[in-house]
Amino acid sequence: MAAQQGMPPSRMSGFRSELNVFYAFFYRSLVQQLSFRSWFVMRILGMFVGVTTYSIFAKVVPSTEIAAQIAAQYHLTGKNPFLDFFLIGMLVQNMVALGSAGISGLVNSPFYPYYHASPTRLITVFFGNNAFRYLWVIIETFAYIAVGLTFGMTFYMNFGFVLVLVTGILLTFSLDLLSAGWNIITKTGEDPLNWFLDLFSRLVTGSWIPVQNLPNWLQAIAAVHPQRYVNDMARLTIGGNAPLREIWPQLGPLMLITAVITVVGYRAFKYGFWKARDEGTLGHAMSGFRR
């Protein structure tokens, strides 16, 4: 049928081969996770207990003054603004993590030279190697939503939020590309930029604490942290149902910054990759810690 539609049989067989490799990676990860049944069950229970703990904390701890302040800033319409503020921050941070550690974790793996020497495409290895992690993030996302709705969380789904989420994931991925290029070249564990962003990822991005309630010196750090703006726009859209035109003054510059970092990250990764391949040092990152 594919040949009748114009796709050469060789291309069709190559596509099937890539799908088989992707499935093999995913199946291997799934079997590894399910082989420790008690640990896997405890992980799922721990996830729901953790989300429930966050929900109870957000429901009973904050003062009326903080809740009113948050509701006014993000146009939150739910009965418990801080609950919406807190869980949306946790939800978005969890979803944006889809773009993190995929490339850098792969090239730091001691098995990467074998993947590179195989006839499989890098993109197939990348998605196959991370398929179970992506599935787990999706499961956690639905857990956040389910538990949040149980405790009275209010959220809306709109095009603005989709753009914010895609931009956040792409930004995280581009930063991971930059980190992977740095790791390949220097053979170290983490680049200074991602180390700095990860260090303050929960403290100054508004994931847990409203930025305006932080000390002035931390607010200065928050002003240059991109995750802070992703969280702000996510709350305005998914929590306050803000239209795209309302968040565009923030989203437009963030998309431009994301595009620039993507280009820089790709070039850094490409340079490091070919340099390491020519030197025969692919997969040597962090080798001193593996011995």
What are 266-276's pLDDT values in tens digits? 888 888 777 77
pLDDT-above-70 percentage for the chain: 86
pLDDT per position as a tens digit, 67-104: 888 888 888 888 888 888 888 888 898 888 888 867 77
In the predicted model, what is the mean pLDDT of residues 49-58? 78
Question: What is the predicted pLDDT for the residue at 229?
Answer: 93
Instruction: For residue 191, give every residue at least 6 positions away whose Cβ sits within 8 Å of its Cβ, in sequence order, or none.
Output: 178, 179, 182, 183
1: in domain = no
Q: Which long-range contacts does 102-105 make (Cβ < 8 Å, 24+ apart)?
A: 102/126, 102/129, 102/130, 102/133, 102/173, 102/176, 103/173, 103/176, 103/177, 103/179, 103/180, 103/269, 104/176, 104/179, 104/180, 104/183, 105/130
Question: What is the predicted pLDDT for the residue at 10?
Answer: 61
Measured CA to CA, the distance from residue 181 to residue 197 in angstroms comes to 17
Which structural domain, as residue segments, surrounds residue 242? 9-290
2: in domain = no
In the predicted model, what is the mean pLDDT of residues 176-205? 79
Measured CA to CA, the distance from residue 174 to residue 257 in angstroms comes to 10
Measured CA to CA, the distance from residue 287 to residue 142 in angstroms comes to 37
- For residues 291 and 141, the model is more confident at 141
Max mean pLDDT among 12-21, 136-145, 201-210, 278-287 falls in: 136-145
Tokens of 51: 């989300």
- For residues 16 and 248, the model is more confident at 248
187: in domain = yes
Go through the chain and tell me how many residues it has. 291
| pLDDT higher than threshold 80 for residue 289 | no
Measured CA to CA, the distance from residue 114 to residue 128 in angstroms comes to 15
What secondary structure letter does DSSP report for 235?
I
277: in domain = yes
**For residue 89, which of 203, 195, 254, 223 has the smallest C-alpha distance?**
203
**For residue 151, which of 59, 241, 49 has the smallest C-alpha distance?**
59
CB atoms within 10 A of CB 248: 14
Max mean pLDDT among 2-16, 81-95, 182-196 falls in: 81-95
Question: What is the predicted pLDDT for the residue at 11?
Answer: 64
43: in domain = yes
Q: Do 108 and 179 touch, CB atoms closer than 8 A?
A: no
Question: What is the predicted pLDDT for the residue at 190?
Answer: 67
3: in domain = no
Question: What is the predicted pLDDT for the residue at 89?
Answer: 87
What band does 26 get if pLDDT is binned at 50, 70 and 90?
confident
The alpha carbon torsion through 170, 97, 164, 253 (nearest 10 deg) reads: -50
Measured CA to CA, the distance from residue 12 to residue 23 in angstroms comes to 17
pTM of the model: 0.78
| pLDDT higher than threshold 90 for residue 234 | yes
Q: What is the SS3 assignment for 161-188?
A: HHHHHHHHHHHHHHHHHHHHHHHHHHCC
Distances (CA, A) of 86 to 46, 57, 148, 175: 19, 9, 10, 25
Helices of type H across 36-98: 37-60, 64-74, 81-96
Question: What is the predicted pLDDT for the residue at 235?
Answer: 92
Residue type, 250: Q
Count of domains in the chain?
1
154: in domain = yes
Q: Do 283 and 107 touch, CB atoms closer than 8 A?
A: yes
What band does 286 get if pLDDT is binned at 50, 70 and 90?
very low
- For residues 252 and 179, the model is more confident at 252
pLDDT per position as a tens digit, 114-171: 776 777 777 787 888 888 888 888 888 888 888 888 888 888 889 999 999 999 999 9
**Ramachandran quadrant class, 284 (left: phi over 0; alpha: psi -120 to 50; beta: rest):** alpha
54: in domain = yes
Q: Do 269 and 179 touch, CB atoms closer than 8 A?
A: no
| pLDDT higher than threshold 70 for residue 287 | no
